[in-house]
Amino acid sequence: MRRYVYRCTVCRTSSPVVRQLDDLAAEGEAHRLALHGGHIPDAEAVGQVDRLGRLYAALGPLIAMHARIADGLSDLRDPKGMGHPFWASAAATLILGGAAALVFGVISAAL
């Protein structure tokens, strides 16, 4: 389940989370018309967000990978909700830690 938001850095507001790119474009257009006379605010941001409302593009690669895994696990139980249950964050951390340990083990065995 993909989630998107429109963020206006001038007003320092974010749109409600939407599920479709068409809805995202409508949110941005409605905000620009209502508050900025149709002008495009500098440094506005749009994009896919995780279940915590963070833009994936603004996250570092390791944190983004953790968020995608935790989002996927959380979507198994609650596909339309927001937020991560503790078990999903913990499982994502274990998966990433296990993958790092596996890579480290393979490299150690090869040397």
Number of residues that bind Zn ion (CB under 5 A): 4
Residue 11 within binding range of Zn ion, rule CB under 5 A: yes
Residue 10 within binding range of Zn ion, rule CB under 5 A: yes
Q: Identify which of 41, 100, 91 has the alpha carbon closest to the alpha carbon of residue 67.
A: 91
Q: Identify which of 58, 59, 47 has the alpha carbon closest to the alpha carbon of residue 18.
A: 47
Q: Kindly tell me which residue out of 17, 25, 26, 35 binds Zn ion, with binding defined by CB under 5 A.
A: 35
Q: Which residues contact 25 (CB under 8 A, 6 or more apart)?
A: none
Residue 106 within binding range of Zn ion, rule CB under 5 A: no
Question: Using CB under 5 A as the criterion, which residues of the chain lie in contact with Zn ion when the complex forms?
Answer: 8, 10-11, 35
